[in-house]
Chains A and B, each alone.
Chain A
Amino acid sequence: MKRVKDIDPGLSVRSLAAFEQERRILSDLGNDITGVRDKNDLIILFSKRIKSLFYFTHTIVTLIDAKDETYTPFLLDHESSPIRSHAQYPELIKAHFSLNEPFIRAALRAEEPISFLLEDIMDQPQSPSFLRANYEAGVKEILMTRLMKEGKPMGFIHIYSDKPNSFSIEFRNVIKGIAPQLSGAVSNIIKNEEILKKEQEKSLLLDFSNDIATGRTKEELAFAVRAVLKKINPPGGFVIRRINEDNTTMSPYAYDLTKTHDPKVINALEQARYPINDGLQDRVLNSAIPLLFNVDREIQRGITSSYLQHWKTMGFKEIVGIRLRNGETNHGILFLDIQEINVQLLQGICSQISIALANIMANEQIHKKQEEQAFLLDFSSDIAQVRTKADLQAAIFRVLDKTMHTQLSMIRTIDEDGYNMSPFMYDETLFERAKKHFAELLAHRVTVDEIYTADVLTSEDGLVFNIEEELKSGNSYARLWETTGLKNVYGLPLRVGNKNIGTIWLLADRLSKLMLKGICAQISIAIANIQANEKLLAYKKQLEVENDYLKEQIKTIYNFSEIIGNGQQMQKVYRLMSLVAGSNTTVLILGETGTGKELIARAIHNASLRKDKLMVKVNCAALPANLIESELFGHERGSFTGAIDRRIGKFELANNSTLFLDEVGELPPEAQAKLLRVIQERELERLGGKQTIKVDVRLIAATNRNLEEEVKAGRFRADLYFRLNVFPISLPSLRERPEDIEPLTHFFVKKYGRNTGRKIRKVAPKVIQQLLSYTWPGNVRELEHLIERSILLTPDDILRDVYIPENTATDKQDLTHLLNHSLEEVERSYIIEILRRCSGKISGPGSAAEILKIPGNTLHSKLKKLGITKKDYFG
């Protein structure tokens, strides 16, 4: 199979000079070789020196690769290679040749340099192709010498010659002798190259670390990465993908795509959000080492992420992916278009990128935080200036939009009853797609016990509801929420100190909890302020109203001690009053006008447990029918035309006090119905209002009408009458208690004398006489007015005259009128008149007979004689 040129033993006797020369050459060469650090220098030095002694064409050194049992060129003397222009040359110098074939096995076995004639071996089936290539370039013979390291073959010296028999024994001995030094030199060079490479990598990483450390922005990071990658892999592109805030997708962050300039592709790549678990990215993130991807294979595997298609169209065949990780946290992936994977170097680069990325993200976070804080600050100063709900709304909408890119869904506040929750503010535009549903929700009554509200109110910092999950669990709001297309609902309690004042609801995919908390705290305070402000205004209004009453009442006031009169009739009234005052019983005061019904009502109030609060009075006759309900029960803003403001009704005003309904007989039917309801249920609703208000009011009603008659005539509700007529007190007319006229006169004289600054010492007896003889249809009030007027007309300190104006005038008129009549006629109409005044009472006390100072029997017969019937005086 092969013919080995054996060493001729006959030539073993050599001259001393030859040995000497050999020894010198070996030691010189050995010295020089061990000093060489460069691959090229080594082969050129070696080749030159040997050539100075022996003839050959060229030499190369090949090294064994243990992993696949091959050998491959390591040192090449291009200059002298005759096959340099051979078509296969570039291929040959990189090729790995099998150690598993006869030619090289012979070389491996041979302890001495061994030569072959190319002719003999090159065409053997397994022989390496470089033999034939050399032969074709004129080479005839090859001398193979093993290079050993630690007792194992590490490579070969190949020496080629175009002349046969070039390899003399001296030549072989020199080569054999120099082989160990050459092995040592090659090992040194390999080690040196390794060290150099490591050093280069180190300085590369150091430079990169310096570059990257100064970078604060994404652009600077991209720049530094581009620079370092250009150094290790000039043609390749890269992309850094970062894990998005949602923690489920990744997006390109920085990149250098040299292979495409198609703006459409770039744009698509830039905008993309690739699911992390797409079957490829997750593999990189889970792998501690760089992974090499074959683009086609990954597509075949069924991975659908669009970047693979883009890579394919850009012409990438293989891509290396390395995770960017800091400690235990993945930040992203570096994808590289690179041929050689230097694990340590890439990991070094990636750990730097990871740190930079983490820094930049932390920076961005800080920046964002600062921005948010600035907005919060603005918000808090905005809010500090807010006085009205409209201002607050504008401020809230603005801060939500700017800091969290979200919209308000709803703020509900807890009503004063601590139970109901009213909508305070909302943004309907959020529910454009479900207007009806939202309107329903608004109309729906919500209380603090409603389960979602209760959960939120009792939570520490609010709750997040996942809309999808809520849908599944049958939450009825979820269908409304769903229409927004957002993922979560955030419900937070609005609190001032430890007190819940309401709830706020926001819809978003994700919100910063801290921001939310900050904003909610501000909103809570602002709402509390506005509520306090509203309350203040309401109190103010109530005070004004009360003040008005007070003034009004001061004008007309009689206080209990001012009730004058000790006659029997009045004693009866006092007894009734003292019986009823202490209870909460409704009192109905009956009596002619001017009999002092209000005075009695007030006295009852003042004698009751409610005396510390003001009695509220409504004159049912003094109000237009269309306003009386609002007067009594109050109204909400906008409940009817002209209702510009919310108004508290007299009933509410009289809560825990007494409501005095004067002239109750004049109440229109609708108001009667409502009044009845309030009396029955002890709660009321404001006009236009939705909620009922509990009230505790004691009622005193008064009328000068005969309510029974009114009921019969259908003008007054019977049921209301029964409700009012629980404890009737009838006030006597002044006519019926003439004994009180004199004390009353003295009282008024004193009162008006003082009021007008005049001191009336005395009332003339004639005046008293005059007053006693008058019938007083206007009762006490008429007496009071008369005295007031008379005092004004009195020139000195004695009241000598009273002017009973109208009645006197009519009397006079009547008198003149009487002059034209017969005595009988005069007598008849006089008796009728008297009977009328005495309400038809003929005999007994206060009767016509008494006034006429004739016996009752006489009057009876006179009536008969004059033909006076009941019809005449009751007409």
Chain B
Amino acid sequence: MKIVVIGGSGLIGTKVVAHLRQAGHQVIAASPATGINTITGDGLAEAMSDTDVVVDLANSPSWEDQAVMDFFQTSGRNLLAAEINAGVKHHVALSIVGVDIMQNIGYMRAKKAQEDLIRQSGVPYTIIRSTQFLEFLKGIADQATDGNEVHLSDVRFQPIAADDVAAFVAKYAVAAPLNGKVEIAGPERFAMYEVVAQYLRHANDPRKVVPNGKPLYYGGEISHAALVPVGQAELGTINFEKWWSNQLQKA
């Protein structure tokens, strides 16, 4: 199959591209660097030609509310229009667990808009909703840092390793479109502050985690269960310890 991975140079994208190539598919790793840009439309029509599946793993370069919304809407519209024109048979996108109950957060609104565009497009699709990536732990710690303290809540948290995410995405990309969503998550569930503390310990980071009650995410208040799957979810196999040792090996 010819598969185009939008955001093929990103964290998840790179891994998905590798998986699919491994499986012998003709894969286009699309990103502005490779001349394919979903915002400007550059190279999009050519990339779509004879394409069977499009996997959208692009992410907004800016995190500001309006910019994220503009990115996912424009990118989604352009991409889906090009897919329709080219007769693409399956659109796979990576979204976020709990996206529809965290609409007070700008980024979640943008991801929801992306999902809605997909659902309305008429292109057969699979939406994969993932929990946060383990690779994101440092980022979470950094943004909650105040001096030498990291203030985090006990919000339920079930991070997943990028490798697991990529494996799931690759699996769903070559499967028949669900025309619906699946949820994927890591194998362990924590309180957010716990796993971050664990991470900092492993990394010999001197910062101290201070649990405080307020469940915040991206600056928005969320419910305790917002970040974890509600019902059935596919769970990755890489737990924190395994993930950590993989990290060490790569380094």
Contact = CB atoms under 8 A, between A and B. Distances in A.
A67 B21 contact: no
Contacts, number: 66
A292 interface: yes
Interface stretch (A283-291, A482-490, A861-869): A283-291
Contacts of B1: none
Given A288-B74, A288-B77, A288-B78, A297 B45 contact: no
B77 A67 contact: no
B87 A297 contact: yes
Contact of A67 (B28, B40, B49, B82): B28
A291 B40 contact: no
Chain A interface: which size bin?
20 to 34
A150 interface: no
B42 interface: yes
Given A67-B36, A288-B41, A294 B77 contact: no
A292 B86 contact: yes
A290 B87 contact: no
A289 B21 contact: no
A290 B86 CA distance: 13
A338 to B, nearest CB: 11
Contact of B87 (A67, A286, A288, A294): A294
B24 to A, nearest CB: 9
A320 B47 CA distance: 15
B65 interface: no
Contacts of A69: 21, 27, 29
B29 A290 contact: no
Contact of A66 (B33, B49, B74): B33
Contacts of A223: none
Nearest to B5: A67
B178 interface: no
B8 interface: yes
A291 to B, nearest CB: 5
Interface in B1-50: 8-9, 21, 26-31, 33-36, 40-42, 44-49
Contacts of A266: none
B193 to A, nearest CB: 38
Contacts of A297: 85, 87
A68 interface: yes
Given A66-B34, A67-B8, A67-B36, A283 B84 contact: yes
B29 A67 contact: yes
Given A68-B27, A69-B21, A100-B21, A343 B40 contact: yes
A462 B98 CA distance: 55
B232 to A, nearest CB: 36
A297 B86 CA distance: 8
Contacts of A292: 45-46, 48-49, 82, 85-86
A324 to B, nearest CB: 16
Contact of B41 (A66, A289, A293): A289
B175 interface: no
A344 interface: yes
A65 B82 CA distance: 22
Contact of A68 (B29, B48, B77): B29
B176 interface: no
A341 interface: yes
A533 B170 CA distance: 90
Contact of A344 (B33, B40, B44): B40
Contacts of A288: 41, 74, 77-78
Interface string A74-106: 000000000000000000000000001000000
A283 B41 contact: no
B124 to A, nearest CB: 15
Interface residues of B, number: 31
B225 interface: no
Nearest to B24: A100
Nearest to A280: B85
Interface string A824-865: 000000000000000000000000000000000000000000
Interface in A325-355: 341, 343-344
A341 B87 contact: no
Contacts of B87: 294, 297
B85 A293 contact: yes
Contact of A291 (B29, B42, B85): B85
B81 interface: yes
Contact of B85 (A294, A343, A344): A294
Contact of B77 (A100, A287, A293, A343): A287
Nearest to B50: A294
Contacts of A344: 40, 42
Interface string B196-239: 00000000000000000000000000000000000000000000
A289 B8 contact: no
Given A67-B36, A294-B85, A294-B87, A287 B78 contact: yes
Given A66-B34, A294-B86, A297-B87, A289 B44 contact: yes
Contacts of B44: 289
Nearest to A68: B28
A343 B28 contact: no
A787 B228 CA distance: 135
A291 B45 contact: yes
A270 B8 CA distance: 45
A341 B87 CA distance: 18
Nearest to A341: B45
A508 to B, nearest CB: 38
A289 B29 CA distance: 20
B81 A67 contact: no
A283 B82 CA distance: 10
Interface in A615-657: none
B58 to A, nearest CB: 14
A286 B80 CA distance: 12
Contacts of B35: 67
A320 B41 CA distance: 13
A72 to B, nearest CB: 13
A68 B26 CA distance: 7
Given A69-B29, A287-B81, A290-B41, 12 more contacts: A65-B34, A67-B29, A67-B30, A283-B85, A289-B44, A291-B85, A292-B45, A292-B49, A297-B85, A297-B87, A341-B46, A343-B40
Interface of A: 65-69, 100, 283, 286-294, 297, 320, 341, 343-344
21 contacts: A66-B9, A66-B34, A67-B31, A68-B26, A68-B29, A100-B21, A283-B81, A283-B84, A283-B85, A286-B81, A289-B41, A289-B44, A289-B81, A289-B82, A292-B46, A292-B49, A292-B82, A294-B86, A320-B45, A341-B46, A343-B42
